[in-house]
Amino acid sequence: MATVKIPKVKVGQICWTCGGYDILSFRLVKVVEIRDKPRKGETSRVFVKPVNPTETDKIWLGNDLIIGIHNPDWLFTEPSDWRNGFEGSPESVMQPVIEKKPTNCPSCNSKITAKMKFCGECGEKL
């Protein structure tokens, strides 16, 4: 059986929902589960949770706060997708950048570790 490729989103990614979800339209959500194909009797393939859940969300969604999205194309993922009325700002969907510590001394290029405050070779402050 052929499975449908979901091209756009991955688990943990922050997106906006599209319109048509009443109070849950254009909200910031985090992808919590992706299925290649829907389960029997279900049509949703992507499952998301509000990033900033409200009391009203709990009434609508129950305590697990899961929103099922039928098609990942119905999620907005790019800062350029932001429009007036979307939750947050265009930057809200940017993925966190993990800063990599340098692994070599900037002065003498010998190996250093993240814990070191000074280079063991040349004494350069790190």
Give the binding site for Zn ion (CB under 5 A). Answer: 105, 107-108, 119, 121-122, 124
User: Minimum CB separation from Zn ion for residue 112, in Å?
Assistant: 7
Using the minimum distance from each CB to Zn ion, give the nearer residue, 12 or 106.
Answer: 106
When the beta carbons of 20 and 102 are compared against Zn ion, the nearer one is: 102
- Positions of E strands within the chain: 14-17, 28-34, 46-50, 67-69, 75-76
Query: In angstroms, what CA-CA distances link 56 with 49, 76, 88, 96?
Result: 14, 22, 18, 28
Q: Which is nearer to Zn ion, 52 or 110 (CB)?
A: 110
